[in-house]
Amino acid sequence: MAGKQTKPKKQVPLRLSGELYDELMAWAEDEFRSVNGQIEYLLTEAVKKRKKGHQAE
């Protein structure tokens, strides 16, 4: 990413139900990510989709 400036990552406290956390953990393991990485990936994809004008279903 030569020449591209990026902002530092922010820490965000997040509370999840145990059931949701377990589902995210299993999904993250399937895709070889950490739970944090999986949440960041999902949020990034949602923002990209929103920017393209698609509505979440």
Domain boundaries defined on the chain: 18-51
Q: What is the pLDDT of residues 23-43, one digit of tens each?
A: 999 999 999 999 999 999 999
pLDDT at residue 32, rounded to an integer: 97
Supply the pTM of this predicted model.
Answer: 0.76
Query: What's the angle, vertex CA 31, arms to CA 11 and CA 47, rounded to 5?
Result: 50
Is 35:28 a contact under the CB 8 Å cutoff? Answer: yes
Is 24:35 a contact under the CB 8 Å cutoff? Answer: yes
Does the structure show a pLDDT above 80 at 55? no
Does the structure show a pLDDT above 90 at 2? no
